[in-house]
Amino acid sequence: MVTVDKSIAKEAEQLQKELTRHNYRYHLLDDPDISDAQYDRMMNRLLAIEDEYPSLSTPDSPTKRVGSSPLEIFETASHSVPMLSLDNGFQESDILDFHNRISKLLNTDDLVYTVEPKLDGVAVELRYENGLLVLATTRGDGMIGEVITENVKTIRSVPLSLFRENDADLPPLLEVRGEVMIHRSDFALLNRHRLEMDLPLFANPRNAAAGSLRQLDSRVTAKRPLGMFVYGTGLVDGLAYESHSELFHLLKRFGFPVNPLIREKLSMEEVIARYRELETQRNDLPYEIDGMVIKVDRLSFQQQLGIKKRSPRWAIAYKFPAVEETTTIRDIIVQVGRTGTITPVALLEPVTVGGVTVSRATLHNGDEIAKKDIRIGDTALVVRAGDVIPKVVKVMASQRNGSERSFSMPEACPVCSGKVKRIPGEAALKCINASCPAQLKQRLIHFVSKGGFDIDGLGRKLVEKLVEQGIVMSFADVFSLEKKRLASLEGLADKSAENIVAAVETSKKISLARFLFSLGIDHTGESAATLLADKFQTLENIRGAAAGEIEKIDGIGPKTAAAVQAFFASADNSRVLDQILN
């Protein structure tokens, strides 16, 4: 056994304590008091010490957040108390019925509720023995779940051990339940990264959270920005409380992430008002919620009401309107994108999905249509997840009446009638005519968009008009737009024309990353463009870079590298670049 120097042991303990505190300030209070670099330095030092003296690596050391060696399989564990589901209500009357029903059962008109957002994530249970996180499980079938302890330990907002004033406050056993989720922006970032690395995309944030939790290698989970909010308990020993709201205060004191949108002790009238409020906030929240959970606050009432087979009698989920609907596919058209990709799009019988009217959905490509056997006239299940483009999940083949028509991808570009080609190894069909007006329009729209030159007033409609009238035929033409020519366009006032010319002028000062993004190179989104700019610093350096050199950048895959190299190698593109630079 390696003997440990006392001063080293002390240093490790100090670092563990400090890092735990910083972690809490950063992830729960949102109020860090040291820099990320300082945190990293302390973490690296602690990792080095624990590596040399494994006996100092306590089970709740913050180093456990980086993940450990992969498992062969997930073990399973039974829940001490079954993990139930909730009854659903969709209308106000469902909720009033719930209220009347339980008021009668309890023979009281003194009922108050605690209400919480219903997070659309993954349910997990955390077991703390004498204050230490010893087990984390998925809900599984409600009786038995999968053991995902190492993965859950990587979630920064989950305490590895309970905070307490003194050891006397520690409950010998505490099982806490909650929902693990991923923020919409992190989900978008994760998918963008996966797209660039040519990996399959996650359909929605919930799938991304579930996929990240079910990793045999916890080091992969550690890289996924998972969050959690707790909402209840399993088996508890040594903790006394009389209401659900009181429980939340206790859990918060132990260091658990408790959703700040929870409202306590509301009357039924206030519950209904809170639902309306949450519904309007819903799309602005950083994470997805699919409703509000209403729980009887007083524990003695909960116990009196008890549970049914699969759900408690004392709680109900008041769901928001679905983000999934069925509708009819009226037609299928194809669109030509910026890089010539031909995308089939379903034109739908307009339908409200999650409060927004949807009349189109992407069908991705011909293979997807064939795989899902999508036909014109079919009844389709359409989903809309946050700000993601609506898509057709599947069609209901059983509802066909024989009038449905199959669809095949065109053999020529629907816009320029030029040749279309299938890129080897890809599902996409492409128009290979570089001067196809459809492509030019899309490339220009991308060129002047927010992530690129960001030219105010030069929107999609105006760009289309400028191309159609032959005023803009290339990127460089944007920079020689004249006020007189613009003002002669129908519907464009003198003042607007002047503003656009001024915006063009200011846009000329642009960072290398945005410039690269604006060019619309295949597989090169904002994050890849930033990586390229950081590495190469100047446009000249990138123009001369070999694919092998580009691929060495962490986060850039072979496809992006090849596309970047090919873009700058093309004589046509070189000419266009020189024109822009002029």
Residues classed as catalytic: 118
* Tally of residues, the chain: 582
Report if residue 179 touches ligand IVH, rule: CB under 6 A: yes
Nearer to ligand IVH, 117 or 131 (CB): 117
Q: How far is the CB of 141 from ligand IVH (least distance, A)?
A: 12
Q: How far is the CB of 575 from ligand IVH (least distance, A)?
A: 56
Q: Measured between alpha carbons, how far is 156 from 153 in angstroms, rounded to an integer?
A: 7
Report if residue 344 touches ligand IVH, rule: CB under 6 A: no
Report if residue 84 touches ligand IVH, rule: CB under 6 A: yes
Q: For the chain, how long is the longest CA-to-CA vector?
A: 86
Q: In degrees, to the nearest 5, what angle opens at C-alpha 205 toward C-alphas 262 and 135?
A: 70
Q: Which are the contacts of 119, defined by CB distance < 8 A and separation ≥ 6?
A: 179, 181, 229, 259, 287, 288, 289
Report if residue 458 touches ligand IVH, rule: CB under 6 A: no
Report if residue 271 touches ligand IVH, rule: CB under 6 A: no
Report if residue 315 touches ligand IVH, rule: CB under 6 A: yes
Q: In degrees, to the nearest 5, what angle opens at C-alpha 357 toward C-alphas 352 and 361?
A: 100
Report if residue 325 touches ligand IVH, rule: CB under 6 A: no
Q: How far is the CB of 179 from ligand IVH (least distance, A)?
A: 4
Helix (H, G, I), strand (E, B) or coil at 400: coil
Among 131, 159, 232, 557, binds ligand IVH (CB under 6 A): 232
Part of the chain binding ligand IVH (CB under 6 A), chosen from 113-121, 362-370, 413-421, 438-446:
113-121
Part of the chain binding ligand IVH (CB under 6 A), chosen from 115-123, 197-205, 458-466, 524-532:
115-123
Q: How far is the CB of 176 from ligand IVH (least distance, A)?
A: 12
Nearer to ligand IVH, 65 or 298 (CB): 298
Q: How far is the CB of 93 from ligand IVH (least distance, A)?
A: 20
Tell which residue, 424, 416, 426, has the closest CA to residue 334. Answer: 416
Angle between helices 36-52 and 6-27 (to 10 degrees): 140
Q: How far is the CB of 231 from ligand IVH (least distance, A)?
A: 4
Nearer to ligand IVH, 312 or 452 (CB): 312
Q: Measured between alpha carbons, how far is 460 from 479 in angstroms, rounded to an integer?
A: 17
Report if residue 231 touches ligand IVH, rule: CB under 6 A: yes
Among 174, 293, 342, 438, binds ligand IVH (CB under 6 A): 293
- For the stretch 349-354, contacts whose Cβ atoms lie closer than 8 Å and that sit 24 or more positions apart, written own/partner, are 351/325, 351/326, 351/327, 351/382, 352/321, 352/325, 353/322, 353/323, 353/324, 353/325, 353/382, 353/383, 353/384, 353/390, 354/320, 354/321, 354/322, 354/323, 354/384
Report if residue 64 touches ligand IVH, rule: CB under 6 A: no
Helix (H, G, I), strand (E, B) or coil at 186: helix
Helix (H, G, I), strand (E, B) or coil at 189: helix
Q: Measured between alpha carbons, how far is 460 from 84 in angstroms, rounded to an integer?
A: 50
Report if residue 176 touches ligand IVH, rule: CB under 6 A: no
Report if residue 86 touches ligand IVH, rule: CB under 6 A: yes
Give me the residues that bind ligand IVH (CB under 6 A), please.
84-86, 116, 118-119, 123, 139, 179, 231-232, 293, 312, 315, 317
